[in-house]
Structure 1
Amino acid sequence: MNGCPSWRRQERDGAVVLDIHVIPRASRTQPDGVYDGALKVRLHAPPVDGQANQALIDWLADTLGIAKRDISVLRGTTARRKQLRISAVGAQRANWSPLD
């Protein structure tokens, strides 16, 4: 993962941690550049009852081509700024090109 963006870092166990800034209630779900060192993602889902978190996991799994079970929220379950962890298996299988 040499030369990867600042919002994506690999841990010693092979897992990857992503810093993400979420904009809920957008017209559609899509990446929108980088904001304050984090990948900015516009989510169609509202920030109600974990809907935005689940939508983010669903979108990320689909975009990277990995299983949803390989993604977990480390920090920021109720905040716009989040840290997500992708397991070592998921990180190895992921197609990062749509986000780079």
Structure 2
Amino acid sequence: MSTPWLRQIGQDCVVFSLHVQPNARCTEFAGLHGEAIKLRLAAPPVDGKANQALCSFIAEFCDVPRRAVSLLSGESARAKRVQVEGVDEETLRRLRRLG
């Protein structure tokens, strides 16, 4: 299964593309949006709160410390690229099943 939104870099690092919908009722993955995975985010897009909530949610989903998640692009856009370090095989399988 091809996942254009997910790239593995090295042994335990991934980069993925997101389409973020802020101010959602709850924070959850919501399928594909073009070549990105859609993420509904409960946080408002004010003062960086959405980006903080995004990185915290991704860290929890991937079972890594918050410091292992970094926003590569899209700080003030809905289209974002996120890098996660320390991803194990089980987490990689869960990520691939999202799309």
**Runs of at least 5 residues in structure 2 that lack an aligned partner in the other structure:** none
More helix by percentage:
2
Q: How does 1:8-87 map to 2 (within 5 A)?
A: 8-12=6-10, 14-87=12-85
Q: How big is the shift at 1:94? A: 6.2
Output the TM-score relative to the length of structure 1.
0.85
Identity rate of aligned residues, in percent? 36
Please tell me the root mean square deviation across aligned C-alpha atoms, in Å.
1.9
**Runs of at least 5 residues in structure 1 that lack an aligned partner in the other structure:** none
Equivalent position SS for 2:26: coil
Counterpart of 1:71, as a letter, is: V
Q: Which residue of 2 aligns with 1:95?
A: 91
Output the TM-score relative to the length of structure 2.
0.86
- Tell me the number of residue pairs that the alignment of Structure 1 and Structure 2 aligns: 96
Cα distance in structure 2, aligned partners of 1:72 and 1:85: 5
Q: For residues 37-63 of structure 1, give each alpha carbon's deviation from its aligned partner in whole angstroms, at most 9, with x where no partner exists.
A: 101000000001111111111111111
